[in-house]
């Protein structure tokens, strides 16, 4: 049967850009991430295998030393692609340091200039290249030296990026392949990045939410940072015009901020208002806090206020026990300890008070 030439005109036209693509499993496509503080680190690479080439990887055409002209249209000296196929890409959601050198937040093509006893890590603006073939050194953002660890005891078949030794502010990242490990340390300024993260959130809907404003101000108070901004947040959180609530906790935060700013008279006045609104447990905790700061007289005043305001309810006698003990009046401390023991709501508190009574009766203050 002949072919209708007219019908051929209606067949779909397939351009070269639509050529059939069949997935190959030669190199594994990989993506790992880690969060340090509020900083997200992501690494994307293609992982080649050793495939029986142990001892023939490093310093060869596979992972060559220094910079080489790779050909195939590339006429510039290029470092190793730190993976296979497309460029390895590393991204950081905030500013970081790499082995102590500053690197701004962003996404970077990652290359390594290998040498027999050291390496140079290269972070480059081009994230869309095919490996190192069209590497351009003028797009380098950071170069930093590191030392590789050779002769690892376990063969790493597929090139991997692994995380080690993480702390609150840093993590070690290591490229591991064959018997080599190439580590480098990424560190973050947790305080400054967290503050910026909080400030960004406060410009949105959370900036109208009293609990969120209170939480943000509390963090700044704890860190002794951005106090003017924190005071503005806590003022909003306690302002009834903004559905704020001048609670004991919120007013305590405001008092603490004012005290750090050196406004001690205003801080004391705010704290007096807080005490008037405090629950029995809040005042008890505040008295213990004052004792921890060696403010015995102030703590005793709070314990007495709590006892009077809440008519001797639990745990006001336990507070007076602590206050009298700190003032050296062990006789009165024992008296209130025994009254507190009668009120103790559970075995844990009963055991604690029994031990405190025994200690006081031996003439030892708490």
Asked whether residue 66 is domain-assigned, the answer is yes
221-270 pLDDT, tens digit each: 999 999 999 999 999 999 988 778 899 999 999 999 999 999 999 999 99
In this prediction, residue 131 carries a pLDDT of 87
Residue 266 CB partners (closer than 8 Å, separation 6+): 258
Which of 166, 188, 210 is the last residue before a domain boundary? Answer: 188
Residue 239: give its domain's CATH number. 1.25.40.10
Choose one of 188, 216, 249: the last residue of a domain: 188
Expressed in percent and rounded to 5, the helix, strand and coil fractions of the chain are 40, 25, 35
The residue out of 132, 157, 188 marking a domain boundary is 188
Please, are residues 331 and 315 in contact by the beta-carbon 8 Å criterion?
A: no
Instruction: Give the β-pairing of 180-187 and 68-71.
Output: unpaired
How open is the CA angle 185-186-191, to the nearest 5 degrees? 135
Q: Is the pLDDT of residue 105 over 80?
A: yes
| Mean pLDDT estimate for the chain | 92
Co-location of 32 and 179 in the same domain: yes
**What are the backbone dihedrals phi and psi of residue 81, each rounded to the nearest 5 degrees, phi first?**
-75, -5
Q: Kindly state whether residues 172 and 279 are assigned to the same domain.
A: no
**Are 95 and 195 part of one and the same domain?**
no
Do residues 206 and 150 share a domain? no
Residue 51, Cβ neighbours under 10 Å: how many?
A: 10
Residue keyed to tokens 């170069």: 143
| Other C-beta atoms lying within 10 Å of the C-beta of residue 114 | 21
Instruction: Determine the Cα–Cα distance for residues 320 and 26; give it in Å rounded to an integer.
Output: 74
Instruction: For residues 182 and 304, state if they share a domain.
Output: no
pLDDT greater than 70 at residue 22: no
10 located within any domain: no
* Residue 4 maps to a domain: no
Percent of all residues in the chain with a pLDDT value above 70, rounded to a whole number: 93
Residues 166 and 113 in one domain: yes
Q: What pLDDT does 3 receive?
A: 42
Question: How does DSSP classify residue 261?
Answer: T
pTM of the shown model? 0.79
For the cut 90, the answer to whether the pLDDT of residue 128 exceeds it is yes
Determine the Cα–Cα distance for residues 36 and 308; give it in Å rounded to an integer: 48
Which backbone phi and psi does 360 adopt, to 5 degrees? -65, -40
> 138 and 214: one domain?
no
Mean pLDDT of 124-141: 93
Same-domain status, 32 and 154: yes
Domain total of the chain: 2
Task: State residue 30's pLDDT score.
Answer: 96
Is the pLDDT score of 94 beyond 80?
A: yes
> Residues 246, 317: one domain?
yes
Domain that holds residue 267: 191-361
């Amino acid at each position: 049967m002949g072919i209708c030439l007219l019908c051929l005109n209606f067949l779909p036209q397939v351009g070269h850009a639509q050529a059939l693509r069949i997935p190959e499993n030669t190199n594994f496509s990989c993506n790992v991430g880690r969060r340090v503080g509020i900083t997200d680190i992501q690494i994307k690479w293609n992982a080649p295998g050793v495939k029986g080439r142990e001892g023939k990887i490093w310093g060869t055409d596979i992972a060559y030393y220094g910079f080489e002209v790779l050909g195939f249209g590339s006429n510039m000296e290029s470092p190793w692609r730190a993976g296979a196929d497309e460029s390895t890409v590393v991204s950081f959601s905030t500013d970081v340091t790499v082995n102590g050198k500053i690197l701004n937040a962003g996404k970077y093509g990652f290359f390594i200039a290998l040498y027999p006893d050291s390496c140079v890590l290269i972070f480059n603006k081009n994230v869309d290249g095919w490996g190192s073939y069209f590497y351009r050194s003028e797009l380098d953002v950071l170069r930093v030296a590191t030392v590789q660890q050779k002769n690892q005891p376990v063969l790493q078949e597929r090139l991997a990026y692994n995380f080690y030794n993480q702390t609150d502010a840093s993590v070690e990242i290591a490229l591991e392949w064959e018997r080599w490990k190439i580590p480098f340390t990424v560190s973050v300024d947790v305080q400054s990045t967290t503050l910026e993260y909080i400030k960004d959130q406060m410009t949105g809907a959370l900036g109208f939410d009293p609990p969120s404003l209170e939480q943000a101000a509390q963090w700044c108070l704890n860190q002794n940072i951005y106090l003017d901004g924190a005071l503005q947040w806590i003022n909003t959180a306690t302002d009834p015009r903004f559905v704020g609530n001048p609670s004991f906790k919120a007013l305590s935060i405001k008092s603490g901020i004012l005290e750090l700013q050196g406004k001690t008279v205003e801080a004391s006045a705010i704290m007096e208002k807080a005490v008037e609104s405090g629950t029995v447990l809040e005042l008890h905790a505040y008295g213990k806090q004052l004792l921890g700061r060696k403010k015995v007289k102030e703590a005793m005043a709070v314990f007495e206020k709590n006892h009077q305001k809440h008519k001797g309810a639990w745990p006001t006698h336990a507070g007076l026990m602590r206050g009298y003990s700190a003032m050296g009046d062990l006789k009165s401390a024992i008296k209130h300890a025994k009254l507190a023991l009668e009120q103790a709501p559970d075995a844990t508190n009963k055991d604690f008070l029994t031990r405190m009574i025994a200690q006081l009766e031996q003439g030892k203050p708490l």
